A and B are shown apart, each in its own frame.
Chain A
Amino acid sequence: MSETEKLANGVKSRDARCIARAISMIECGDECSGSLLQMLECSGPPVLGITGAPGVGKSTLADALIRHYRSMDKTIGVVAVDPSSPITGGAVLGDRVRMHRHYTDEGVFIRSMATRGAYGGLAPASMGAIKVLSAAGYDMIMVETVGVGQSEVEIMHLADVVSLVLIPGMGDSIQTLKAGIMEIADVFVLNKADLNGIDELERQVMDFIHMSGINDNGSMIIKTVASKNTGIDKLSEAVTEILGRKKCR
């Protein structure tokens, strides 16, 4: 058996070191990474994208969602992306900090990735990492993008459900008129819903939905306080509903 085959088998039996090394191989563009990816069958678990501006609570929301899904006994693979420096190429990857209570849980695998010059809000090897985690048999994959501005929309090509996290106080209704990130959301998560301005934010997002001619059955806007686990059940229900709807299509 070749080394690559051994690695692929290790991934399939959910060996943490094999999963980690497989992702590194893809990340470094190792010459064997192509054949490795071919060996990994994809079971196709749902991929949940979490995107939004820096500091809106994406990692904290991911942490709360992991906890929610773990309580339902689902295993979770997480890909968390932070930016590489355009000057030095280095990076400080800090998403993991918010998820520390899951570090020793064998049902959770968290991998941080740096953007390494990519501009769409993800890392060049994010797709490969998702494939490895899928092959390892995790029940759900979460992908957290870098803190995005308006036009980093790469996540729409990778995720089955895109959740856009917004918080109060980020701008008036003109912001919701603009093209880009607002258009790719399957669900709008209005986080930090205990802050002033949450009602105005909700009105703006509702306006956006109506203007876009989207037929919302009420599940598109979810208010959360991720740090207090508030609204996470509702978000999970919405995600399930959206996944069901997309499958039917």
Chain B
Amino acid sequence: MGNAKKIKVLVAKPGLDGHDRGAKVVARALSEAGMEVIYTGLKQTPAMIASAAAQEDVDVVGLSILSGAHNEILPEIVKELEKAGMEKTMVLAGGIIPGDDATELKAKGISEVFPPGTALKSIVEYIQERIS
């Protein structure tokens, strides 16, 4: 512990979606893998998420979305992160996101989309392999 560089992850629920069980489970799994996870709560706007990510200086932003608004709101968050000077931040998404949408989102700056049924271990490994 002590001073070593820790992977920092912001976990947020964008938009009007009050179901945060998944986000909490992922937050817990990432922390058990030794990461520092900042949980920002429900019903976040893209600007709120970007501002929190910038202040917390995170390496990764994890977005959990079940509302169906992912095509609208996720690219918006990528834009807001750029505006906040966080263009290098890895953005991950999880939730009910159909495969075709996932492909499109990846073209718009989302690094990876984790659909329902994803093993927690694979999310942890995805981050660990890419963030030193």
Contact = CB atoms under 8 A, between A and B. Distances in A.
Given A104-B51, A111-B55, A90 B41 contact: no
Contact of A85 (B4, B31, B57): B31
B90 interface: no
A168 B28 CA distance: 30
A97 B2 contact: no
A96 interface: yes
Interface residues of B, number: 33
Contacts of A100: 40-41, 44, 48
Interface in B1-53: 1-6, 27-28, 30-41, 44-45, 47-48, 51-52
B34 A89 contact: yes
A211 B67 CA distance: 57
A16 B81 CA distance: 13
B54 interface: yes
A108 to B, nearest CB: 9
B55 A110 contact: yes
Nearest to A17: B85
A126 to B, nearest CB: 14
A75 interface: no
Interface in B42-89: 44-45, 47-48, 51-52, 54-57, 84-86
Contacts of A93: 36-39
B31 A92 contact: yes
Interface in A65-99: 84-85, 88-94, 96-97
B41 A97 contact: yes
Instruction: Indicate the size class of the contact surface on chain A.
Output: 20 to 34
B3 A96 contact: no
B26 to A, nearest CB: 11
A116 B86 CA distance: 25
B2 A96 contact: no
A90 B36 contact: yes
A92 B34 contact: no
A204 interface: no
Interface string A99-113: 010011000011110
Given A17-B84, A109-B55, A90 B32 contact: yes
7 contacts: A17-B84, A20-B57, A28-B3, A89-B6, A90-B33, A96-B40, A117-B2
Given A16-B54, A16-B84, A29-B3, 9 more contacts: A28-B3, A84-B1, A85-B31, A85-B32, A88-B31, A90-B31, A91-B31, A93-B39, A103-B40
